[in-house]
Amino acid sequence: MLLSTTLALPGFAQQTTSSANAQAATASASQSATAPDLEPLPPDTPKNFWDGDDPNLVNLVAHPFASKKYVQRHVAPIRDRINELDELTSENGKAIKDTDARAQQGIQLASEKSSLADQHATDASNKAQLAQTTATQVATRVSTEEQIVGNIDQYKGSGQTEIRFRPGQTVLSKDAKDALDQMATPLKDQRSYIIEVRGYAPGRGQAAIASSQKMADSVVRYLVLNHQIPVYRIYVMSMGNAPAAGADGTMAKHTSAGRVEISLMKNDLVGSMQH
């Protein structure tokens, strides 16, 4: 039995050694594929069947089943390489996390810049629209003002009042004041009108002109003081003893009594545009 055991152990030990060598070679190839920048594991080069163990009876019986030294010698290089791979994996994980964090920060910064650009574009569009609206309003206002300027002298007669004076008098009578009140009262708070005041007096030369001027001044004074008619809306002319135009457009005779003709002129086109 002892002889049979002695003959069987070498073959079994050789198979165990070959299996261990094959496992070491497989681990070395895996590490080389995973980490090509690391040095490969050194190949197992046993010195002899016992790999440095003394070939005594105890080792013959226990080898390679219970040799701690034998196991450590074959496992230590693999364990070291596994530790190195763990360190590389940890470093790669940290690098990936750092890259992801920078990528997220870049995406957020790009999103903020895009939002800011959109806001600026919206503000620019609003300003452009406001400028277009303002330009349209200005163009409309200019067109309206041009029409007003074009129609500014388009006055038409709206009414005529005649005030008569007794010979040698320039003071307004009650009937004359009533006539002026009836004409001037509707003009309160109105615009786009003018009043023509023409004075006529009998006589000749400068005497007639001076007399007609006094009568016209009496009418103007009453309109300004009693009805607050602006002076710039009143145009006065002293006609003296000049012939006045008739109702049919023909020239009438010279006046035989003092009188003042008041003509109200309105510009309805300008007034409607202003309203």
pTM over 0.75: no
Quote the pLDDT of residue 57.
61
Average pLDDT score over the chain: 76
Q: What is the pLDDT of residues 54-77, one digit of tens each?
A: 555 655 555 555 456 766 776 778
Whether residue 239 has pLDDT greater than 60: yes
Quote the pLDDT of residue 241.
86
Within 80-220, strands assigned E span 156-164, 193-200
Domains along the sequence of the chain with CATH: 2-95 (no CATH), 156-274 (3.30.1330.60)
CA angle 78/84/88 to nearest 5° reads 140
Q: Which of 74, 11, 82, 75 minimizes the C-alpha distance to 45?
A: 74
Q: From CA 195, how far away is CA 237, in angstroms rounded?
A: 11
